[in-house]
């Protein structure tokens, strides 16, 4: 994550995310990375921080999103990943847990639910004919209920679960998860599923970068104007 710091799947995602948006992504920069990430997937189907570790929502998102950026999602066992992540939505609360047998947490609304658009896209690219053309493979309304009814702080901001205090991290990821739950697909296939009044509808977010899709497009276009820098110092 930084010089002398820890090594885990998050840094691969951060690097891939930044490099792809700023047009500095070269095969050399990420050589071996995709294979390493694939080794982080374990018997549970999810992805851990490093090879051997327990499957965890945050790391799974980072791993999957990084592989999407590197166009190597096929290195994963997508079916077991799908099985794992769908098992993480809590049948009573509607929100997601980060790992098996743990409690629900608002932030996983993004880390876990955000995997489903990525999986949908990857399976679609493989020619899977069973995919819905209108919904992600999780209960979008139930997640929205959890976020809107349980994760809001009366003074503003969002949180992990009732009883916890608000913070920027949870505010960010609860809202991001809400956006994922409300918007399926894009362009011609866009389908909105909004719980409650229409004003509840948020702007859609890009499932890989979690910023507005227009911003992704603009960033990419802007940096494409510049050549990929060489690693040798001038």
Partner 1 sequence: DEIGLIPCPEARYNRSPIVLVENKLGVESWCVKFLLPYVHNKLLLYRQRKQWLNKDELIDITCTLLLLNPDFTTAWNVRKELILSGTLNPLKDLHLGKLALTKFPKSPETWIHRRWVLQQLIQENSLPSLATKGNLGAAPMERIHRLVQEEMNVCSEAAGRYPSNYNAWSHRIWVLQHLAKLTVKVLLDELSSTKYWVSMHVSDHSGFHYRQFLLNSLIGRTVTDSNVLVNEQNPNFQKEEESAGTEAACAEEQSVDIPRRLEEEMELCTELIDNYPGHETLWCHSDETLNNSHHSPATSRMAQAMDVDGLNESSSKQGYTQETKRLKRAPMQDSLGPEMEYQFIDKVLSTCRDVDQARFATAYRKWLVTFLGQ
Binding site residues, partner 1, CB under 8 A: 4-7, 35-36, 38-39, 41-44, 48-54, 56, 74-80, 99-102, 126
Cβ proximity to partner 1, 75 vs 172, nearer residue:
75
Active-site annotation holds for 105: yes
Distance CA 208, CA 101 (A): 27
- Which residue of the set 10, 135, 164, 167 is catalytic? 167
Active-site residue 167, yes or no? yes
Verify whether residue 59 is a known catalytic residue: no
Residue 72 phi, psi (nearest 5)? -130, 30
Residue closer to partner 1 by CB (options 22, 80) is: 80
Q: How far is the CB of 26 from partner 1 (least distance, A)?
A: 22
160 classed as catalytic: yes
- Long-range contact list for 76-81, CB < 8 A, 24+ apart? 76/38, 76/41, 76/47, 77/41, 77/45, 78/119, 78/122, 78/123, 78/126, 80/41, 80/44, 80/45, 81/41, 81/45, 81/46, 81/47, 81/115, 81/119
Please indicate whether residue 107 is annotated as part of the active site: yes
C-alpha span between 72 and 62 (Å, rounded): 13
Which lies closer to partner 1 via its Cβ, residue 164 or residue 206? 164
170 is catalytic: yes
Which residue of the set 56, 120, 166, 183 is catalytic? Answer: 56
Closest CB to partner 1 among residues 100, 221: 100
Q: Which two tokens stand for residue 24?
A: 């500095």
Annotated catalytic residues are: 56, 99, 102, 105, 107-108, 160, 167, 170
């Amino acid at each position: 994550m930084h010089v002398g710091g820890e090594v885990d799947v998050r840094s691969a995602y951060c690097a891939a995310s930044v490099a792809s948006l700023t047009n500095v992504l070269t095969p050399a920069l990420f050589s071996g990375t995709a294979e390493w990430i694939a080794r982080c997937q374990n018997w549970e189907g999810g992805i851990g921080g490093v090879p051997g570790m327990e499957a965890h929502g945050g790391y799974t998102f980072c791993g999957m999103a990084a592989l999407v950026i590197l166009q190597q999602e096929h290195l994963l066992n997508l079916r077991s990943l799908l099985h794992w992540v769908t098992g993480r939505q809590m049948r009573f609360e509607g929100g997601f847990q980060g790992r098996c047998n743990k409690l629900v947490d608002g932030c996983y609304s993004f880390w876990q639910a955000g995997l489903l658009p990525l999986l949908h896209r990857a399976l679609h690219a493989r020619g899977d004919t069973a995919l819905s053309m209108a919904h992600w493979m999780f209960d979008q309304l139930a997640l929205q209920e959890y976020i809107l009814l349980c994760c809001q702080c009366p003074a503003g901001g969002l949180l992990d679960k009732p009883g916890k205090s608000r913070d920027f991290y949870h505010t960010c990821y609860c809202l991001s998860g809400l956006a994922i739950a409300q918007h399926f697909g894009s362009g011609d296939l866009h389908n909105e599923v909004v719980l409650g009044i229409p004003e509840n509808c948020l702007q859609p977010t890009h499932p890989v970068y979690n910023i507005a899709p227009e911003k992704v497009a603009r960033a990419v276009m802007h940096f494409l104007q510049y050549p990929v820098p060489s690693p040798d110092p001038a």
